[in-house]
Structure 1
């Protein structure tokens, strides 16, 4: 009687990965082999950005544009089709400015959603479809930004909905820290952009 290895059984029950999106990558990005890119709209990733293992970029709802020196952490999703726009393809995607960090488990929905330069989207955050988050904002862990909401530049948003202006003046320091972190990540994460092209 022939036996089937457990690894071949696992591969046979995995769901299909979905359509392979057109991509435009800078030659200096770092993207893990186990990142998941699906959809039909283009995905553009600019220079020196890092996409961690198990991060998801879903371009079913529209184009995804990721700026320079961004970090997309594991188990985060950029371009998710949320409950408010699940039935229609919107052709309206997600734009992340330069130096944006999307931390573990965060989700940014498609729908002309914009996250400005230098913003941190904290662990487990959700940014709804069509929201506009300004430059150098901080969304603390588990914060939800409602669909269509606007967060002004230099704002800290807490998970209980409280907002305050960020007057620390640390934008330049954060950008320098992001650059140093990217240098370390590039040595730690084996990159395979050819898999997605």
Structure 2
């Protein structure tokens, strides 16, 4: 039986070519992950990232690596879908730093990476044939299902999915992340970090490349 080997990406060691047995959940120091969420498959959660209750993350088509300082709000869903031409070993899905997934949004992706500093607003949906750059905003209730690639700093809004280039960079979420990491332990049970190595900032930035 082929057990595969190891690969390293962004300072995180991955097992590749190995059949998935159960869940492999890696939580780095500084991450705030509520116990009441659904995590299935091989998932790595970077330091400073906050995952609210009722979040669903499913690594169906391969490992998912979430970089540092992301926010996943209640009922947001990320699924690394199996592609029609499944690679062996399966290709990881890298989600860059400082992404915000608002309440009820859903991302389905077989692609290799999602950029940094994107905002997926409430009840938005991004399908399997959509590539996302960095600094993008997917407006509330916008559904992107047609194959397309969003360039950096693209804003999608409205029922007709109009788009334009963002006039300003997305604001930093660090103050909100700091607040959430202090308040959430008072109201929710948390999953404890189980990887005792923090991603250096430069390496975490490389995740989305």
Give the TM-score category using the shorter length.
0.7 to 0.9
Q: Which runs of 5+ in 2 are unaligned?
A: 1-20, 196-209
Per-residue deviation, residues 96-153 of structure 1 (Å, max 9, x unmatched):
1110001111111131163211100111111111421111111110112226421000
Q: Aligned runs of 1:179-194 on 2, under 5 Å?
A: 179-190=174-185, 192-194=190-192
3-state SS of the aligned residue for 1:129? Answer: coil
Q: Does 1:32 align with 2:34?
A: yes
Q: Which runs of 5+ in 1 are unaligned?
A: 1-18
3-state SS of the aligned residue for 1:189? Answer: helix
Query: 2:51·2:72 contact (CA, 8 Å) conserved in 1?
Result: yes
Structure of greater Rg: 1
Question: Greater shift after overlay, 20-29 or 179-188?
Answer: 20-29
| Superposition RMSD in Å | 2.5
Question: Greater shift after overlay, 44-53 or 139-148?
Answer: 139-148
CA distance in 2, matches of 1:123, 1:88: 31
3-state SS of the aligned residue for 2:107? Answer: strand
CA distance in 1, matches of 2:76, 2:194: 18
Query: 1:115·1:133 contact (CA, 8 Å) conserved in 2?
Result: yes
Query: 2:28·2:193 contact (CA, 8 Å) conserved in 1?
Result: no
Query: 1:20·1:37 contact (CA, 8 Å) conserved in 2?
Result: no
CA 1:195/1:38 → structure 2, altered by over 3 Å: closer, same or farther? farther
Q: Aligned runs of 1:170-185 on 2, under 5 Å?
A: 170-171=169-170, 174-175=171-172, 178-185=173-180
Higher strand share: 2
3-state SS of the aligned residue for 1:109? Answer: strand
Question: Which has the bigger relative contact order, CA under 8 A and spacing at least 6?
Answer: 2
CA distance in 1, matches of 2:69, 2:116: 10
TM-score, L = length of structure 1: 0.76
TM-score, L = length of structure 2: 0.72
3-state SS of the aligned residue for 2:164? Answer: strand
